[in-house]
Amino acid sequence: MHLQALTGLATLAVTAASQTLWSRDVDYKALSKELSASAKVYFPGTEDFDAASKRWSNLDKPTVNIVAVPATENDVVEITLGLTQANTLRQVKFANKKNLPFLAQNSAHGAITTLGQMKQGIEIYLNQLSGVKIAKDGKSVTILGGTASKKVTMGLWEAGKQT
């Protein structure tokens, strides 16, 4: 009897540990075909997925099905809600078409509890979209979404500017 209980408990533990919450009607691999050659898609069970979805706090962390790493602005459009016009018909892209939530992120920070409200979604890891571009007149700056604050500070400092 103890052996049966132990076997049942072990089976339950393995099942729970390896369970991934997937929406059964979503072909996540299809997303890869829509993105640029430099974009990446990471799936659960890979080191890249684990590294990109790692958080510094497990407080109400989001449930991520895949991690999409855009390399261009158009990749972000393809992942999220970009609009394509064909005979005046608007077509929403992957996440909205599949009714999937998405969360843009550029590092592991964020401890607000609302992040945990994302269930079975797509993480958009912005680390490839990084840069600080100072306007020619020096009066404004464009900071790409995946830029770490240190890179912003250093880029501005090198141009004689500061935050």
> Which structure tokens are listed for 75?
């990749």
Closest of 106, 108, 112 to residue 143, by C-alpha: 106
CATH fold for the domain made of 18-129: 3.30.465
One-letter amino acid of 50:
D
Res 111: pLDDT: 67
CB 64 within 8 A of CB 41: no
Q: pLDDT grade, residue 18 (50/70/90)?
A: very low
CB within 8 A of 30, min separation 6: which ones?
Answer: 94
CB 129 within 8 A of CB 145: yes
User: SS in 3 state form for 67-96?
Assistant: EEECCCHHHHHHHCCCCEEECCEEECCHHH
Distance separating alpha carbons of residues 120 and 91, to the nearest angstrom:
22
Give this prediction's pTM. 0.69
Per residue in 37-46, pLDDT (tens digit) is 999 999 999 9
Rounded to 5 degrees, what are φ and ψ at 49?
A: -60, -50
Average pLDDT over residues 46-59: 86
When mean pLDDT is compared over 31-40, 81-90, 152-161, the highest value belongs to 152-161
What is the number of helices (H) and of strands (E) in the chain?
Answer: 6, 8
Distance separating alpha carbons of residues 104 and 118, to the nearest angstrom:
11
List the domain boundaries for the chain. 18-129, 130-163
